[in-house]
Structure 1
Amino acid sequence: MATLGLHETLEVHELLTFKSLCLTKSSTMNNLVQDEELKRILSQDAALSTKHIQSLQNFMTKGGIQ
């Protein structure tokens, strides 16, 4: 497996930070909204963000990124 360059490593970290922010925002907003359809959308987004975070963390672990 090829080693990632510094720029690529920073990009992966930025993606992980962004997806973490998305998860936090969706979870927080879900507790504040009243509309059931919007709650459903926010719950789906939180679940998808969680999957993305796990995928990025797995990639970083397998890629040897710290």
Structure 2
Amino acid sequence: MTKFLGMHEALEVHELLTFKTLCLTKATTMSALAQDEELKAILASDVTTGTEHIKQLQQFLTNREDVQ
């Protein structure tokens, strides 16, 4: 990976980060309202993976060194 993202790439990563943050917020909120245990498990899994995805996207915007 290169050390720097192009302007359009940084904007696209930022859009993805915004979308994933919105998804994480919705999954967290809905998991508190869900009554079905299977649905709660799916939402909990989505929260876990969404959190990891957000961390990875943040690294693209903040980490300027080579990432392998």
Aligned equivalents of 2:17, 2:24: Cα separation in 1? 11
Partner of 1:22: 23
Aligned equivalents of 2:60, 2:5: Cα separation in 1? 11
Structure 2 counterparts to residues 1-66 of structure 1, below 5 A: 1-63=2-64
TM-score with structure 1 setting the length: 0.88
Unaligned runs of 5+ in 2: none
Aligned length: 64
- % same residue: 59
Aligned equivalents of 2:6, 2:59: Cα separation in 1? 18
TM-score with structure 2 setting the length: 0.86
Give 2:22's aligned amino acid.
L
Aligned equivalents of 1:11, 1:50: Cα separation in 2? 18
Name the Cα RMSD after superposition: 1.4
Unaligned runs of 5+ in 1: none
**4+ residue stretches of structure 1 with deviation over 3 A?**
none
1:63 CA displacement: 3.1
